[in-house]
Chain A
Amino acid sequence: MADRIVIQSFSLQYSATTPGVLSSVSLDIPSGTCCAILGPTGAGKSSLLQCLAGTMQRHHPESVASGTIQIGERLFEALPSHVLFPSVGYALQDPHVQISGVRDTVFGEILFTLENTGEVPDEPAAVILPLLRKLGIDHLADRKPTSLSGGETQRVALATILVAQPPVLLLDEPTTAMDLAAQEKLRGILRGMKQSTTIVLTDTQLDFALGICDQIVVLEQGKVLFDGTPAAFLRRLDEFHTSLPLENWLPLRQQILRLLDQPSRLGSRLALTLGLK
Protein backbone atom coordinates (compact mmCIF):
# COMPACT_ATOMS: atom_id res chain seq x y z
CA MET A 1 0.00 0.00 0.00
CA ALA A 2 1.41 3.36 -1.06
CA ASP A 3 2.04 6.04 1.56
CA ARG A 4 1.26 9.73 1.44
CA ILE A 5 4.15 12.12 2.03
CA VAL A 6 3.55 15.44 3.73
CA ILE A 7 6.43 17.85 4.27
CA GLN A 8 5.69 21.01 6.26
CA SER A 9 7.89 24.09 6.57
CA PHE A 10 10.99 21.95 6.29
CA SER A 11 14.38 23.69 6.42
CA LEU A 12 17.83 22.16 6.45
CA GLN A 13 21.41 23.30 7.01
CA TYR A 14 24.39 20.94 6.83
CA SER A 15 25.72 22.68 9.93
CA ALA A 16 24.69 25.63 12.06
CA THR A 17 27.30 27.83 10.38
CA THR A 18 26.58 26.98 6.72
CA PRO A 19 23.80 28.50 4.57
CA GLY A 20 20.51 26.64 4.27
CA VAL A 21 20.18 23.84 1.72
CA LEU A 22 16.40 23.67 1.99
CA SER A 23 14.30 26.63 3.02
CA SER A 24 10.77 26.23 4.33
CA VAL A 25 9.82 23.47 1.90
CA SER A 26 6.18 22.36 2.10
CA LEU A 27 4.90 19.55 -0.12
CA ASP A 28 1.95 17.20 -0.14
CA ILE A 29 2.47 14.10 -2.28
CA PRO A 30 -0.69 11.95 -2.29
CA SER A 31 -0.31 8.18 -2.03
CA GLY A 32 -0.02 6.25 -5.28
CA THR A 33 1.17 9.23 -7.30
CA CYS A 34 4.43 10.25 -8.89
CA CYS A 35 6.10 13.52 -8.05
CA ALA A 36 9.03 14.94 -9.98
CA ILE A 37 11.33 17.34 -8.18
CA LEU A 38 13.09 19.35 -10.85
CA GLY A 39 15.89 21.83 -10.47
CA PRO A 40 19.46 22.65 -11.38
CA THR A 41 22.45 20.99 -9.72
CA GLY A 42 22.78 22.18 -6.14
CA ALA A 43 19.10 23.04 -5.80
CA GLY A 44 18.69 20.67 -2.82
CA LYS A 45 16.91 17.80 -4.61
CA SER A 46 19.18 15.00 -3.39
CA SER A 47 19.32 16.51 0.10
CA LEU A 48 15.53 16.39 0.26
CA LEU A 49 15.53 12.73 -0.83
CA GLN A 50 18.18 11.93 1.79
CA CYS A 51 15.96 13.49 4.44
CA LEU A 52 13.00 11.39 3.27
CA ALA A 53 15.11 8.19 3.22
CA GLY A 54 16.44 8.80 6.73
CA THR A 55 20.13 8.99 5.81
CA MET A 56 20.68 12.70 6.40
CA GLN A 57 20.78 12.57 10.21
CA ARG A 58 23.06 9.51 10.17
CA HIS A 59 25.54 10.84 7.62
CA HIS A 60 25.47 14.48 8.67
CA PRO A 61 24.86 14.38 12.43
CA GLU A 62 25.79 18.07 12.66
CA SER A 63 22.96 19.03 10.27
CA VAL A 64 20.25 21.30 11.60
CA ALA A 65 16.65 20.82 10.47
CA SER A 66 13.25 22.17 11.37
CA GLY A 67 9.71 21.42 10.27
CA THR A 68 8.05 18.02 9.91
CA ILE A 69 8.09 15.07 7.55
CA GLN A 70 5.19 12.67 7.53
CA ILE A 71 5.40 9.41 5.60
CA GLY A 72 2.19 7.41 5.88
CA GLU A 73 1.34 7.27 9.56
CA ARG A 74 4.85 8.11 10.74
CA LEU A 75 5.52 11.69 11.71
CA PHE A 76 9.09 12.91 12.10
CA GLU A 77 9.95 16.17 13.84
CA ALA A 78 12.86 17.53 11.78
CA LEU A 79 14.84 14.51 10.55
CA PRO A 80 14.25 10.75 10.83
CA SER A 81 17.06 9.35 12.99
CA HIS A 82 17.38 6.05 11.11
CA VAL A 83 17.23 4.65 7.60
CA LEU A 84 13.59 4.05 6.74
CA PHE A 85 14.12 1.01 4.50
CA PRO A 86 12.03 -1.05 3.69
CA SER A 87 9.24 1.52 4.23
CA VAL A 88 11.13 3.87 1.93
CA GLY A 89 13.22 2.58 -0.97
CA TYR A 90 15.92 4.90 -2.28
CA ALA A 91 17.77 4.36 -5.55
CA LEU A 92 20.94 6.43 -5.72
CA GLN A 93 22.03 8.42 -8.75
CA ASP A 94 24.88 6.05 -9.66
CA PRO A 95 23.39 2.57 -10.11
CA HIS A 96 26.83 0.93 -10.01
CA VAL A 97 27.30 1.71 -6.32
CA GLN A 98 23.92 0.10 -5.62
CA ILE A 99 25.39 -3.28 -6.57
CA SER A 100 26.85 -4.68 -3.37
CA GLY A 101 29.24 -7.20 -4.92
CA VAL A 102 28.49 -9.71 -2.18
CA ARG A 103 26.69 -12.04 -4.59
CA ASP A 104 27.84 -13.62 -7.82
CA THR A 105 24.56 -13.40 -9.74
CA VAL A 106 21.83 -10.83 -10.33
CA PHE A 107 19.36 -13.21 -8.69
CA GLY A 108 21.57 -13.46 -5.61
CA GLU A 109 22.05 -9.70 -5.50
CA ILE A 110 18.30 -9.18 -5.32
CA LEU A 111 17.86 -12.01 -2.82
CA PHE A 112 20.44 -10.21 -0.65
CA THR A 113 17.93 -7.39 -0.07
CA LEU A 114 15.30 -9.87 1.09
CA GLU A 115 17.84 -11.43 3.47
CA ASN A 116 18.53 -7.99 4.92
CA THR A 117 14.84 -7.46 5.61
CA GLY A 118 14.67 -10.90 7.23
CA GLU A 119 11.72 -11.82 5.06
CA VAL A 120 13.05 -14.45 2.68
CA PRO A 121 10.13 -16.41 1.24
CA ASP A 122 10.28 -20.22 1.06
CA GLU A 123 10.63 -19.96 -2.70
CA PRO A 124 12.49 -16.69 -3.42
CA ALA A 125 12.36 -17.37 -7.17
CA ALA A 126 8.57 -16.95 -7.05
CA VAL A 127 9.09 -13.35 -5.90
CA ILE A 128 12.29 -12.42 -7.73
CA LEU A 129 11.69 -13.85 -11.22
CA PRO A 130 8.35 -12.06 -11.80
CA LEU A 131 10.00 -8.80 -10.72
CA LEU A 132 12.88 -9.38 -13.14
CA ARG A 133 10.36 -10.14 -15.90
CA LYS A 134 8.46 -6.95 -15.10
CA LEU A 135 11.68 -4.95 -15.41
CA GLY A 136 12.65 -6.83 -18.59
CA ILE A 137 15.84 -8.27 -17.11
CA ASP A 138 14.84 -11.90 -16.45
CA HIS A 139 17.51 -13.02 -18.94
CA LEU A 140 20.15 -11.50 -16.65
CA ALA A 141 19.24 -13.57 -13.58
CA ASP A 142 22.39 -15.71 -13.74
CA ARG A 143 24.74 -12.99 -14.93
CA LYS A 144 27.40 -11.40 -12.73
CA PRO A 145 25.92 -8.10 -11.46
CA THR A 146 29.18 -6.21 -11.95
CA SER A 147 29.45 -7.14 -15.64
CA LEU A 148 26.29 -5.41 -16.91
CA SER A 149 25.80 -2.35 -19.10
CA GLY A 150 24.69 1.00 -17.65
CA GLY A 151 21.00 0.54 -18.50
CA GLU A 152 20.96 -3.06 -17.25
CA THR A 153 22.72 -2.06 -14.03
CA GLN A 154 20.12 0.68 -13.55
CA ARG A 155 17.28 -1.82 -13.77
CA VAL A 156 19.04 -4.36 -11.53
CA ALA A 157 19.67 -1.59 -8.99
CA LEU A 158 15.97 -0.75 -9.14
CA ALA A 159 15.06 -4.41 -8.66
CA THR A 160 17.25 -4.60 -5.54
CA ILE A 161 15.03 -1.91 -4.02
CA LEU A 162 11.64 -2.92 -5.45
CA VAL A 163 11.93 -6.51 -4.23
CA ALA A 164 11.26 -5.25 -0.70
CA GLN A 165 8.01 -3.67 -1.99
CA PRO A 166 8.54 -0.26 -0.39
CA PRO A 167 5.38 1.87 -0.18
CA VAL A 168 7.53 4.89 -1.09
CA LEU A 169 10.16 4.87 -3.81
CA LEU A 170 12.74 7.66 -4.14
CA LEU A 171 14.71 7.88 -7.38
CA ASP A 172 17.64 10.26 -7.58
CA GLU A 173 18.10 11.30 -11.22
CA PRO A 174 17.19 7.83 -12.47
CA THR A 175 17.86 8.50 -16.14
CA THR A 176 21.48 9.68 -15.84
CA ALA A 177 23.02 6.49 -17.28
CA MET A 178 20.17 5.68 -19.68
CA ASP A 179 19.60 6.04 -23.40
CA LEU A 180 16.16 7.11 -24.68
CA ALA A 181 14.91 3.53 -25.16
CA ALA A 182 15.87 2.58 -21.61
CA GLN A 183 14.22 5.78 -20.31
CA GLU A 184 10.99 4.84 -22.07
CA LYS A 185 11.16 1.36 -20.55
CA LEU A 186 11.69 2.80 -17.07
CA ARG A 187 8.80 5.19 -17.59
CA GLY A 188 6.56 2.23 -18.42
CA ILE A 189 7.74 0.36 -15.33
CA LEU A 190 7.13 3.32 -13.02
CA ARG A 191 3.71 3.94 -14.57
CA GLY A 192 2.78 0.35 -13.73
CA MET A 193 3.95 0.76 -10.14
CA LYS A 194 2.10 3.94 -9.30
CA GLN A 195 -0.96 2.21 -7.83
CA SER A 196 1.01 0.48 -5.11
CA THR A 197 3.89 2.91 -4.63
CA THR A 198 4.32 6.61 -4.13
CA ILE A 199 7.18 7.66 -6.36
CA VAL A 200 9.36 10.73 -5.86
CA LEU A 201 12.01 11.31 -8.49
CA THR A 202 14.48 14.09 -9.08
CA ASP A 203 15.79 15.33 -12.40
CA THR A 204 17.54 18.30 -13.90
CA GLN A 205 15.23 18.40 -16.92
CA LEU A 206 11.57 18.09 -17.73
CA ASP A 207 11.58 15.44 -20.46
CA PHE A 208 11.47 12.25 -18.38
CA ALA A 209 8.99 13.61 -15.85
CA LEU A 210 6.27 14.42 -18.37
CA GLY A 211 4.17 11.41 -19.22
CA ILE A 212 4.59 9.81 -15.82
CA CYS A 213 4.35 12.45 -13.09
CA ASP A 214 1.16 13.73 -11.51
CA GLN A 215 2.95 16.50 -9.69
CA ILE A 216 5.88 18.70 -10.60
CA VAL A 217 7.93 20.61 -8.07
CA VAL A 218 10.61 23.07 -9.13
CA LEU A 219 13.29 23.60 -6.55
CA GLU A 220 15.97 26.25 -6.75
CA GLN A 221 18.45 27.19 -4.03
CA GLY A 222 16.41 25.14 -1.59
CA LYS A 223 13.16 26.98 -2.24
CA VAL A 224 10.03 25.65 -3.92
CA LEU A 225 9.39 27.82 -6.98
CA PHE A 226 6.52 25.76 -8.29
CA ASP A 227 4.30 22.95 -7.03
CA GLY A 228 1.45 21.78 -9.22
CA THR A 229 0.25 19.55 -12.02
CA PRO A 230 2.22 19.07 -15.24
CA ALA A 231 -0.51 20.97 -17.13
CA ALA A 232 -0.21 23.94 -14.79
CA PHE A 233 3.57 23.77 -15.15
CA LEU A 234 3.35 23.86 -18.94
CA ARG A 235 1.16 26.96 -18.74
CA ARG A 236 3.86 28.75 -16.73
CA LEU A 237 6.78 27.21 -18.59
CA ASP A 238 8.53 30.47 -19.48
CA GLU A 239 8.91 31.39 -15.80
CA PHE A 240 11.39 28.54 -15.26
CA HIS A 241 13.75 28.80 -18.19
CA THR A 242 16.53 30.01 -15.90
CA SER A 243 16.13 27.02 -13.56
CA LEU A 244 15.67 24.24 -16.14
CA PRO A 245 16.88 23.55 -19.67
CA LEU A 246 13.61 24.20 -21.52
CA GLU A 247 14.95 25.15 -24.96
CA ASN A 248 13.13 22.21 -26.60
CA TRP A 249 9.86 22.95 -24.87
CA LEU A 250 9.51 26.72 -25.03
CA PRO A 251 8.96 26.94 -28.83
CA LEU A 252 6.23 24.27 -28.52
CA ARG A 253 4.50 25.88 -25.57
CA GLN A 254 1.86 27.85 -27.49
CA GLN A 255 0.95 24.86 -29.71
CA ILE A 256 0.72 22.51 -26.73
CA LEU A 257 -1.51 24.90 -24.80
CA ARG A 258 -3.74 25.51 -27.85
CA LEU A 259 -4.14 21.76 -28.37
CA LEU A 260 -4.84 21.22 -24.70
CA ASP A 261 -7.42 23.98 -24.55
CA GLN A 262 -9.28 22.78 -27.63
CA PRO A 263 -11.52 19.76 -27.05
CA SER A 264 -10.05 17.77 -29.96
CA ARG A 265 -8.95 14.11 -30.27
CA LEU A 266 -5.39 15.20 -30.94
CA GLY A 267 -5.47 17.41 -27.84
CA SER A 268 -6.73 14.55 -25.69
CA ARG A 269 -4.11 12.18 -27.07
CA LEU A 270 -1.34 14.71 -26.45
CA ALA A 271 -2.59 15.31 -22.92
CA LEU A 272 -2.55 11.57 -22.26
CA THR A 273 0.95 11.14 -23.70
CA LEU A 274 2.32 13.95 -21.57
CA GLY A 275 0.48 12.67 -18.53
CA LEU A 276 -1.56 15.84 -18.27
CA LYS A 277 -4.89 14.04 -17.87
Chain B
Amino acid sequence: MSTGQSLSRKLALVLLLWVCAFTLPWTIQASLCVVLIIARYAVLPLRPITPRSAKAFSRFILYSIAVATFIILLNGLLIKEGAVAAKVFGIPLHKEGLLFGARTASRLLLLSFSILLFFVSTSLPDLIEHLQTKGLPPYLALVLLLTLHFLDQLPARIHQIFLAQQARGAPVDSGLLSRTKALFSILSPLVLSSIVESIERGTALELRGFLQRPQVARVIKRSESETDWLTISLILLALAVLIYRIVQWLIA
Protein backbone atom coordinates (compact mmCIF):
# COMPACT_ATOMS: atom_id res chain seq x y z
CA MET B 1 0.00 0.00 0.00
CA SER B 2 1.47 3.37 -1.03
CA THR B 3 1.66 6.38 1.31
CA GLY B 4 -0.86 8.22 -0.85
CA GLN B 5 -3.32 5.33 -0.73
CA SER B 6 -2.96 5.03 3.02
CA LEU B 7 -3.57 8.75 3.43
CA SER B 8 -6.63 8.68 1.18
CA ARG B 9 -8.08 5.84 3.24
CA LYS B 10 -7.40 7.64 6.50
CA LEU B 11 -8.96 10.86 5.21
CA ALA B 12 -12.01 8.92 4.05
CA LEU B 13 -12.22 7.23 7.47
CA VAL B 14 -12.11 10.63 9.22
CA LEU B 15 -14.89 11.85 6.91
CA LEU B 16 -17.00 8.78 7.75
CA LEU B 17 -16.44 9.20 11.49
CA TRP B 18 -17.32 12.91 11.34
CA VAL B 19 -20.54 12.09 9.52
CA CYS B 20 -21.24 9.44 12.18
CA ALA B 21 -20.57 12.00 14.92
CA PHE B 22 -23.43 14.18 13.66
CA THR B 23 -25.89 11.51 12.59
CA LEU B 24 -25.75 8.28 14.61
CA PRO B 25 -27.00 7.60 18.17
CA TRP B 26 -24.58 8.32 20.98
CA THR B 27 -24.21 4.65 21.90
CA ILE B 28 -22.74 3.92 18.45
CA GLN B 29 -20.52 7.00 18.69
CA ALA B 30 -19.19 5.88 22.07
CA SER B 31 -18.56 2.39 20.63
CA LEU B 32 -16.70 3.92 17.71
CA CYS B 33 -14.49 5.81 20.17
CA VAL B 34 -13.57 2.51 21.81
CA VAL B 35 -12.93 0.98 18.37
CA LEU B 36 -10.62 3.90 17.53
CA ILE B 37 -8.62 3.41 20.72
CA ILE B 38 -8.19 -0.29 19.89
CA ALA B 39 -7.35 0.56 16.25
CA ARG B 40 -4.56 2.84 17.44
CA TYR B 41 -2.77 -0.35 18.61
CA ALA B 42 -4.14 -2.92 16.19
CA VAL B 43 -4.15 -1.23 12.79
CA LEU B 44 -0.67 -0.50 11.45
CA PRO B 45 -1.44 2.68 9.42
CA LEU B 46 -3.22 4.16 12.46
CA ARG B 47 -0.28 3.73 14.83
CA PRO B 48 1.41 6.95 15.96
CA ILE B 49 4.55 7.62 13.94
CA THR B 50 6.73 8.78 16.84
CA PRO B 51 6.88 7.90 20.56
CA ARG B 52 6.11 11.57 21.24
CA SER B 53 2.86 11.45 19.27
CA ALA B 54 1.95 8.10 20.92
CA LYS B 55 2.40 9.72 24.32
CA ALA B 56 0.37 12.77 23.25
CA PHE B 57 -2.49 10.56 22.05
CA SER B 58 -2.51 8.51 25.28
CA ARG B 59 -2.56 11.69 27.36
CA PHE B 60 -5.33 13.12 25.23
CA ILE B 61 -7.44 10.01 25.82
CA LEU B 62 -7.04 10.40 29.60
CA TYR B 63 -7.82 14.13 29.55
CA SER B 64 -10.78 13.71 27.23
CA ILE B 65 -12.29 10.95 29.38
CA ALA B 66 -12.03 13.33 32.35
CA VAL B 67 -13.66 16.12 30.32
CA ALA B 68 -16.39 13.77 29.07
CA THR B 69 -17.20 12.65 32.64
CA PHE B 70 -17.37 16.30 33.70
CA ILE B 71 -19.72 17.18 30.81
CA ILE B 72 -22.04 14.25 31.61
CA LEU B 73 -22.18 15.04 35.35
CA LEU B 74 -22.67 18.76 34.79
CA ASN B 75 -25.60 18.15 32.42
CA GLY B 76 -27.08 15.59 34.81
CA LEU B 77 -26.89 18.20 37.54
CA LEU B 78 -28.17 21.23 35.61
CA ILE B 79 -30.87 19.72 33.37
CA LYS B 80 -33.53 18.76 35.84
CA GLU B 81 -35.73 16.67 33.57
CA GLY B 82 -36.75 13.05 33.91
CA ALA B 83 -36.24 10.81 36.88
CA VAL B 84 -33.30 11.03 39.23
CA ALA B 85 -30.87 8.42 37.92
CA ALA B 86 -28.27 8.61 40.71
CA LYS B 87 -27.09 10.69 43.64
CA VAL B 88 -23.48 11.80 44.08
CA PHE B 89 -22.70 13.11 47.57
CA GLY B 90 -26.43 13.62 47.97
CA ILE B 91 -26.69 15.70 44.76
CA PRO B 92 -29.34 14.33 42.36
CA LEU B 93 -28.37 13.63 38.75
CA HIS B 94 -31.29 13.59 36.34
CA LYS B 95 -31.66 11.00 33.58
CA GLU B 96 -32.41 13.42 30.72
CA GLY B 97 -29.44 15.58 31.65
CA LEU B 98 -27.13 12.60 31.83
CA LEU B 99 -28.33 11.41 28.42
CA PHE B 100 -27.86 14.86 26.89
CA GLY B 101 -24.36 14.99 28.42
CA ALA B 102 -23.56 11.54 27.05
CA ARG B 103 -24.70 12.60 23.57
CA THR B 104 -22.57 15.76 23.67
CA ALA B 105 -19.53 14.03 25.14
CA SER B 106 -19.58 11.08 22.74
CA ARG B 107 -19.83 13.42 19.77
CA LEU B 108 -16.94 15.54 21.00
CA LEU B 109 -14.84 12.46 21.71
CA LEU B 110 -15.49 10.91 18.31
CA LEU B 111 -14.67 14.16 16.48
CA SER B 112 -11.48 14.76 18.42
CA PHE B 113 -10.28 11.11 18.52
CA SER B 114 -10.69 10.66 14.78
CA ILE B 115 -8.85 13.84 13.81
CA LEU B 116 -6.13 13.34 16.41
CA LEU B 117 -5.55 9.73 15.43
CA PHE B 118 -5.22 10.86 11.83
CA PHE B 119 -2.58 13.46 12.68
CA VAL B 120 -0.53 11.34 15.09
CA SER B 121 -0.33 8.55 12.54
CA THR B 122 0.52 10.79 9.58
CA SER B 123 3.80 12.44 8.74
CA LEU B 124 3.37 16.14 7.98
CA PRO B 125 5.54 16.05 4.81
CA ASP B 126 3.52 13.09 3.48
CA LEU B 127 0.22 14.83 4.21
CA ILE B 128 1.18 18.08 2.46
CA GLU B 129 2.64 16.19 -0.49
CA HIS B 130 -0.49 14.06 -0.79
CA LEU B 131 -2.89 16.98 -0.57
CA GLN B 132 -0.91 18.87 -3.18
CA THR B 133 -0.98 15.93 -5.55
CA LYS B 134 -4.76 15.93 -5.06
CA GLY B 135 -4.83 19.56 -6.19
CA LEU B 136 -4.96 21.45 -2.90
CA PRO B 137 -4.24 25.12 -3.76
CA PRO B 138 -0.81 26.32 -2.50
CA TYR B 139 -2.43 28.99 -0.30
CA LEU B 140 -4.47 26.37 1.58
CA ALA B 141 -1.43 24.08 1.75
CA LEU B 142 0.52 26.96 3.28
CA VAL B 143 -2.17 27.64 5.89
CA LEU B 144 -2.41 23.94 6.75
CA LEU B 145 1.35 23.62 6.96
CA LEU B 146 1.69 26.61 9.28
CA THR B 147 -1.17 25.41 11.50
CA LEU B 148 0.21 21.89 11.83
CA HIS B 149 3.69 23.21 12.46
CA PHE B 150 2.31 25.46 15.17
CA LEU B 151 0.49 22.55 16.83
CA ASP B 152 3.60 20.39 16.57
CA GLN B 153 5.76 23.02 18.24
CA LEU B 154 3.13 24.01 20.84
CA PRO B 155 4.23 21.74 23.75
CA ALA B 156 7.91 22.71 23.37
CA ARG B 157 6.98 26.38 23.14
CA ILE B 158 4.75 26.25 26.23
CA HIS B 159 7.54 24.50 28.14
CA GLN B 160 10.01 27.21 27.04
CA ILE B 161 7.72 30.03 28.15
CA PHE B 162 7.04 28.23 31.46
CA LEU B 163 10.80 28.06 32.05
CA ALA B 164 11.16 31.76 31.20
CA GLN B 165 8.36 32.65 33.63
CA GLN B 166 9.95 30.45 36.27
CA ALA B 167 13.29 32.22 35.76
CA ARG B 168 11.48 35.49 36.48
CA GLY B 169 10.23 34.06 39.76
CA ALA B 170 6.67 33.25 38.73
CA PRO B 171 5.31 30.32 40.83
CA VAL B 172 4.58 27.99 37.93
CA ASP B 173 5.72 24.73 39.46
CA SER B 174 3.98 24.53 42.78
CA GLY B 175 0.66 22.82 42.32
CA LEU B 176 -2.26 22.78 39.95
CA LEU B 177 -3.68 26.16 41.00
CA SER B 178 -0.48 28.15 40.42
CA ARG B 179 0.11 26.33 37.12
CA THR B 180 -3.43 27.21 36.04
CA LYS B 181 -2.83 30.85 37.03
CA ALA B 182 0.50 30.84 35.19
CA LEU B 183 -1.31 29.59 32.09
CA PHE B 184 -2.86 33.04 31.67
CA SER B 185 0.54 34.72 31.82
CA ILE B 186 1.93 32.47 29.09
CA LEU B 187 -1.00 33.00 26.74
CA SER B 188 0.12 36.41 25.51
CA PRO B 189 3.76 35.48 24.70
CA LEU B 190 2.56 32.17 23.26
CA VAL B 191 0.08 33.77 20.89
CA LEU B 192 2.39 36.63 19.90
CA SER B 193 5.47 34.51 19.27
CA SER B 194 3.40 31.99 17.33
CA ILE B 195 1.92 34.68 15.11
CA VAL B 196 5.34 36.21 14.42
CA GLU B 197 6.90 32.83 13.66
CA SER B 198 4.02 31.79 11.43
CA ILE B 199 4.34 35.00 9.41
CA GLU B 200 8.10 34.49 9.02
CA ARG B 201 7.71 30.82 8.14
CA GLY B 202 5.07 31.69 5.56
CA THR B 203 7.31 34.40 4.13
CA ALA B 204 10.23 31.96 3.93
CA LEU B 205 8.10 29.47 2.01
CA GLU B 206 6.88 32.21 -0.29
CA LEU B 207 10.48 33.27 -0.85
CA ARG B 208 11.22 29.73 -2.01
CA GLY B 209 8.49 29.90 -4.62
CA PHE B 210 5.97 27.70 -2.75
CA LEU B 211 2.99 29.70 -3.95
CA GLN B 212 4.11 29.53 -7.56
CA ARG B 213 4.61 25.76 -7.35
CA PRO B 214 3.79 24.40 -10.82
CA GLN B 215 0.75 22.19 -11.40
CA VAL B 216 2.62 19.75 -13.69
CA ALA B 217 3.95 17.50 -10.92
CA ARG B 218 0.46 17.08 -9.55
CA VAL B 219 -1.05 16.08 -12.88
CA ILE B 220 1.60 13.43 -13.46
CA LYS B 221 1.19 11.97 -10.00
CA ARG B 222 -2.59 12.00 -10.28
CA SER B 223 -2.54 10.03 -13.50
CA GLU B 224 -0.24 7.49 -11.85
CA SER B 225 -2.61 6.86 -8.96
CA GLU B 226 -4.93 3.86 -9.11
CA THR B 227 -8.55 3.52 -8.01
CA ASP B 228 -8.66 2.60 -4.33
CA TRP B 229 -11.86 0.72 -3.61
CA LEU B 230 -11.53 0.92 0.16
CA THR B 231 -11.35 4.74 0.01
CA ILE B 232 -14.35 4.84 -2.33
CA SER B 233 -16.27 2.44 -0.07
CA LEU B 234 -15.61 4.57 3.01
CA ILE B 235 -16.77 7.74 1.21
CA LEU B 236 -19.88 5.94 -0.10
CA LEU B 237 -20.61 4.65 3.39
CA ALA B 238 -20.33 8.20 4.74
CA LEU B 239 -22.77 9.37 2.06
CA ALA B 240 -25.16 6.49 2.81
CA VAL B 241 -25.18 7.30 6.54
CA LEU B 242 -25.83 10.96 5.73
CA ILE B 243 -28.67 10.17 3.31
CA TYR B 244 -30.19 7.67 5.77
CA ARG B 245 -30.21 10.34 8.48
CA ILE B 246 -31.76 12.96 6.18
CA VAL B 247 -34.49 10.53 5.09
CA GLN B 248 -35.18 9.59 8.73
CA TRP B 249 -35.47 13.28 9.61
CA LEU B 250 -37.85 13.92 6.69
CA ILE B 251 -40.10 10.97 7.66
CA ALA B 252 -40.18 12.07 11.30
Determine if A116 and B210 form an interchain contact, defined as CB atoms under 8 angstroms apart.
yes
Q: Least Cβ distance of B207 to chain A in Å? A: 5
Determine if B149 and A101 form an interchain contact, defined as CB atoms under 8 angstroms apart.
yes
A92–B206 Cα distance when bound, in Å, is: 12
Determine if A100 and B209 form an interchain contact, defined as CB atoms under 8 angstroms apart.
no
Q: Least Cβ distance of B149 to chain A in Å? A: 6
B90 within 8 A of A: no
Q: A102-B124, A102-B145 are in contact. List 18 more A-B contacts (CB 8 A).
A: A55-B207, A85-B209, A86-B209, A89-B207, A92-B207, A97-B201, A98-B208, A100-B145, A100-B204, A100-B210, A101-B149, A102-B128, A115-B213, A116-B209, A116-B212, A117-B209, A118-B214, A118-B216
A115-B213, A115-B217, A116-B212 in contact; A101/B207 too (CB < 8 A)?
A: no
Specify which chain A residues have a CB less than 8 angstroms from the CB of B128 in the assembled complex.
102
Determine if B208 and A112 form an interchain contact, defined as CB atoms under 8 angstroms apart.
yes
**20 A-B residue pairs with CB within 8 Å:** A55-B207, A59-B203, A83-B207, A83-B209, A83-B211, A85-B208, A92-B200, A92-B203, A92-B204, A94-B200, A100-B208, A102-B125, A103-B125, A104-B123, A104-B125, A115-B213, A118-B214, A160-B208, A161-B207, A161-B208
Specify which chain B residues have a CB less than 8 angstroms from the CB of A103 in the assembled complex.
125
A90–B209 Cα distance when bound, in Å, is: 11
B39 within 8 A of A: no
A90–B197 Cα distance when bound, in Å, is: 17
Residues of B within 8 A of A (CB): 123-125, 128-129, 145, 149, 197, 199-201, 203-214, 216-217
Determine if A100 and B205 form an interchain contact, defined as CB atoms under 8 angstroms apart.
yes
Q: Least Cβ distance of B143 to chain A in Å? A: 14
Residues of A within 8 A of B (CB): 53, 55, 58-59, 83, 85-86, 89-90, 92, 94, 97-98, 100-104, 108, 112-113, 115-118, 160-161, 164
Determine if A113 and B125 form an interchain contact, defined as CB atoms under 8 angstroms apart.
no
A160–B204 Cα distance when bound, in Å, is: 10
A161–B206 Cα distance when bound, in Å, is: 12
A94–B204 Cα distance when bound, in Å, is: 10
- Look across to chain B and name the residue whose beta carbon is closest to the beta carbon of A110: B208
Specify which chain A residues have a CB less than 8 angstroms from the CB of B216 in the assembled complex.
118
A58–B142 Cα distance when bound, in Å, is: 15
Q: Least Cβ distance of B132 to chain A in Å? A: 9
Specify which chain B residues have a CB less than 8 angstroms from the CB of A89 in the assembled complex.
207
The CB with the most chain B CB atoms within 10 A, among A58, A97, A104, A112, is that of: A97
Determine if B206 and A55 form an interchain contact, defined as CB atoms under 8 angstroms apart.
yes
A97–B203 Cα distance when bound, in Å, is: 9
